[in-house]
Amino acid sequence: MQIAIVGLGRMGANIARRLMRGGHEIVAYDVSKDAVQALSREGAMPAGSLEDLVAKLKAPRAVWVMLPAGKITEDCIAVLSGLLSAGDTVIDGGNTYYKDDVRRAAALREKSLTYIDVGTSGGVWGLDRGYCMMIGGDKGAVDRLDPIFATLAPGVGSIDKTPNRESRDPRVEQGYMHCGPAGSGHFVKMVHNGIEYGMMQAFAEGFEIMQGRANEDLPEAERFTLDLPDIAEVWRRGSVVSSWLLDLTSQALAEKPALDNFTGIVSDSGEGRWTVEAAIEEAVPAHVLSASLYARFSSRRPGSFANRLLSAMRAKFGGHVEPK
């Protein structure tokens, strides 16, 4: 079927490519004319502006917005909502805060437009592996766009079937899911990323404990110099921690066992923060998800005010001097 893609960065361009490979017709727009031309050479119909893009679509139109979350997406959808007609659909495929989805869906509904939020996981690997999609919004529109989602999804693949799912929605096993009303897709994606933070931090701490086992302060018989690349690899077969993150860990360690190509200053995107805020709103204790987020904050704050205050108190009550 026909769909427009707005935003042809790495994610947007790959989504367009995977859809074209699946036989869909793409109208492509980006503020960068080069990006539009590049995708045009791969078979997309180029659009010179949002007006042009809307004009090139047959009603009911579908526009997939794949831009950085926040003001850029907000503004683009505002403009689109002035150009589209009743019955058209806007899909936000970015990393939008779910409360923004709820608000936008209500605003578009006023204009008889439909808003769909799609959380996607799979990142740079999605073009080939497919995108795992969590979809929120009006059921009718989600059903109408099913060919799009089916093409983008990873499909059943060679993964073992889970028993007791006979009576359940078969799309889920293809790797996409209609989660509920507007906002629910990005909500589920947000929690997914919160869990991802926790899993990453669990691996990070475990590997640091193993790396630290060669420390010369330890008793000699309890000191081990462990081969971390081999440990990551061996766990990939039959162990309880086997996972895609472990696969990637094994790859990274095989390339550079000391990881000295990294500084250890770790960014966070919004999802980890929003997950903790959602937990607090619901009074759910989220020790691990919070600690994972804070570990990233700490990585960016050496010599923080908090730590200096600890030293100041220790100097006051015990005359303790900081180590050099």
**Which residue number, 33 or 314, has a Cβ lying nearer to a second copy?**
314
Task: Report residue 179 CA to chain centroid gap.
Answer: 16
Q: Which of residues 163-182 bind a second copy (CB under 8 A)?
A: 163-165, 168-169, 172-177, 179-181
Taking CB under 8 A as the rule, does residue 267 contact a second copy?
yes
Instruction: Work out whether the CA dihedral 28, 122, 23, 89 comes out positive or negative.
Output: negative
Task: Report residue 229 CA to chain centroid gap.
Answer: 26
- For a second copy (CB under 8 A), the number of binding residues is 160
**99 noted as active-site residue:** no
Candidates 58, 71, 110, 196; catalytic one: 196
Number of residues written out for the chain: 324
**196 noted as active-site residue:** yes
Closest C-alpha to 19, from 49, 39, 47, 46:
39
Q: Which of 69, 72, 79, 252 binds a second copy (CB under 8 A)?
A: 252
Candidates 139, 189, 205, 255; catalytic one: 189
Taking CB under 8 A as the rule, does residue 35 contact a second copy?
no
Beta bridge partners of 133: 120, 176
Q: How far is the CB of 278 from a second copy (least distance, A)?
A: 6
Q: Which of 5, 159, 216, 271 binds a second copy (CB under 8 A)?
A: 159
Q: Which of residues 99-158 bind a second copy (CB under 8 A)?
A: 99, 102, 106, 121-126, 129-134, 153-158
Contact residues for 49 (Cβ-Cβ < 8 A; gap 6+): 29
Taking CB under 8 A as the rule, does residue 7 contact a second copy?
no
Q: Which of residues 44-103 bind a second copy (CB under 8 A)?
A: 98-99, 102
Q: Which of 65, 89, 250, 271 binds a second copy (CB under 8 A)?
A: 250
Cα–Cα distance for residue pair 184/135, rounded to 1 Å: 7
Segment interacting with a second copy, rule: CB under 8 A, options 15-23, 28-36, 60-68, 209-217: 209-217
Q: Coil, helix or strand for 166?
A: coil
Spatial contact of 79 and 53, defined as CB atoms under 8 Å apart = no
Cα–Cα distance for residue pair 29/65, rounded to 1 Å: 10
Provide the annotated active-site residues. Answer: 189, 196
